[in-house]
Amino acid sequence: MISKTVHKKIGIFLSILISISLPLTVLAEELDSTNFKIVGATTQGGGIVESTSGNYSALLGVGSISSDPRIYSTSYKLGTSPETPFLPAVPTISCFETTTDGYSDCITGPTELSTGGMVALCGAGGCYDRSRFEVDIQNNPSDTLYAIMISTDNFVSDIRYIDASTFTPETYSTHNINDFMTKTDWETETFNIQGLEAGKTYTLKAFALKGDFTQTEAGPTKSATTATGTLFFDIDIAGSTGYTTESSPPYSISFTGAYELIGGSAAITAGNRIWMDTETNSQGGFAIIGNGLNGGLYSSTTTQTITSATANLDQVNSGFGLQSEYIDYDTSSPLLGAISVTSDYSGTINSVGAISTTPKKIYDGNGPIVSGRMALKVIAKPGTSYTPASDYQESITLIFVPRY
């Protein structure tokens, strides 16, 4: 008598070799033998064939049907190996974007992505250290899990995965089952790949998993190139209504005519402003700092300096400084940054911040900026202790510092 264990081994052996010389019977319902019974089996693409003898029965699947809908048509379903029906369909990457501007192939991200592309999320030039991808699930069930492989050399030697917790590339040695997530979970994160290098081309491909031992082969690849760090900073000289005025160097502001400085007079605001334009994709934002050559308005004729000060000029005998009058920037996306002025330069009336020989921060940005525009007023009060002259002047340097 042959034991049940031997029966199983013989059954597996026969199902692989498929050497059938005995009479064949096609069963419609019952799949029994003298040693076992299979309950609830169904037949597909040709049914189940039973090969029998006095001691064993071998059930052979005929025309197994794949669960991959891509190999179906209205006329046929392609049969594959017995394990294939348990595998999910091989996924594809439907979008992988870093620098798109004005459009996007991604459809599940923030609203502004569809019309502004990645520039609307990362600022001018696009994203230099992050990106977004979305998965085409190929009609898999919603609870199917996916893992994402990433490479900078098309998977020749650089083969990494995206960590599903940090969304950064990880090595193969740290990749595990926790790095598989559903399409919804992957795409809830706006930037679902982070920690990338600027100006580098990356390639992605995806795997699907639906239950134990069901990981698919990798799907087709998709590539994108990250942006480089981008910034724009421009100065214009124009009056208080010069919101869009563009001017060319040299840049100068004069206290002349109706704005002439007279000893002992009240504080005077120059007619023109220092207007500034800025854009950057720096995720850390930026700072605009300023310093003066002389630390005040200096006259080479009198050798006197109307010292620059952080003060309310209405309450001091003399002084000179800057005051922010206008700030504007694109607020279409909550992912973009905001511009603010530091407290020394945020005063009203005749309160000013000093322009000293030591650099001081005037404006601050807390993220990527699109269409930034600022204006500074120049205010001075000469006092009575200064000898009148026409050559009191200061050279101001403004520096834009991105924080990447």
User: Under a CB-based contact definition with an 8 Å cutoff, are residues 134 and 122 in contact?
Assistant: no
| Torsion sign over Cα 88, 89, 90, 95 | negative
- Can you give the pLDDT at residue 369? 94
User: How many angstroms separate the Cα of 121 from the Cα of each of 163, 324, 367?
Assistant: 22, 27, 10
- pLDDT number for residue 387: 87
- At residue 31, the 3 state secondary structure works out as strand
The pLDDT assigned to 200 comes to 97
- Measured between alpha carbons, how far is 209 from 206 in angstroms, rounded to an integer? 10
**b/e sequence 338-368, b meaning 16+ C-beta within 10 Å:** ebebbebbebeebbbbbbbeebbbbbbbebb
**How do strand 222-225 and strand 201-209 relate by DSSP bridges?**
antiparallel
Residue 84 DSSP SS3: helix
Query: What per-residue confidence (pLDDT) applies to 44?
Result: 46
Does the domain at residues 92-225 carry the CATH identifier 2.60.40.10?
yes
- Containing 120, the helix (H) or strand (E) segment is helix 119-122
pLDDT tens, per residue, the chain with 404 residues: 434 444 444 333 333 333 334 444 444 445 555 655 555 544 444 444 444 556 555 444 444 444 455 555 555 545 455 555 678 999 999 999 999 999 999 999 999 999 999 999 999 899 999 999 999 999 999 999 999 999 999 999 999 999 999 999 999 999 999 999 999 999 999 999 999 999 999 999 999 999 877 899 999 999 999 999 999 999 999 999 999 999 998 899 988 888 888 887 889 999 999 999 999 999 999 999 999 999 999 999 999 999 999 999 999 999 999 999 999 999 989 999 999 999 999 999 999 999 999 999 999 999 999 999 999 999 999 888 888 888 899 999 999 999 98
- Are 184 and 142 in contact, with CB atoms under 8 Å apart? yes
* pLDDT at residue 70, as a whole number: 52
**What's the start-to-end Cα distance of the chain, in Å?**
77
Using only C-alpha atoms, the chain has a radius of gyration, in whole angstroms, of: 36
Q: Which two tokens stand for residue 33?
A: 């033998």
- 160-162 and 273-280 beta bridge pairing: unpaired
